[in-house]
Amino acid sequence: MTNRPAPLVPADRGATIALWHDCGLTRPWNDPGSDFDRALSGPASTILGLHDAVGLAGTVMVGHDGHRGWVYYLAVAPARQRHGLGRALMTAAEAWLLRHGVPKLNLMVRADNAVAQGFYQAIGYTLSDVTVLQKGLA
């Protein structure tokens, strides 16, 4: 396995989307291929990944809106979970944001995903007293 997460490239698209499906991160209303392409298309976002002898072991999509950072698609292959890869990916995402001058990171976790909430709280994230609203534009 690579020692540190590194930016993914367009050739990683298929393996990345397969990993996101394997980890249950995709939803019918979000096209993961479009999300992948958009994240790699500009200077305000990227997808970091960890590779091992088997292939892509984990990913995290990270970006910023000029005010705060955001993380999406934190994924670790099910057989590789609970070995510190998620923590390594989050550390790399935080470092990427700091290099881009972004001092704060936000992320959203589905309300019914207690495992993910516990993971983020264990690595120092706290609940934020906000309500997220949305409006589909497509």
Cα three-residue angle 68-69-73, rounded to 5 degrees: 150
The per-residue pLDDT for range 10-49, each reduced to its tens digit, is: 999 999 999 999 999 999 988 999 999 999 999 999 999 9
Cα three-residue angle 54-94-52, rounded to 5 degrees: 10
Has residue 1 got a pLDDT over 70?
no
CA pair distance 100, 93, nearest whole angstrom: 11
CATH of domain 6-122: 3.40.630.30
pLDDT of residue 4: 87
**Which tokens go with 113?**
């995903």
Any idea where the domains of the chain sit in the sequence?
Answer: 6-122
The per-residue pLDDT for range 94-128, each reduced to its tens digit, is: 999 999 999 999 999 988 999 999 999 999 999 99
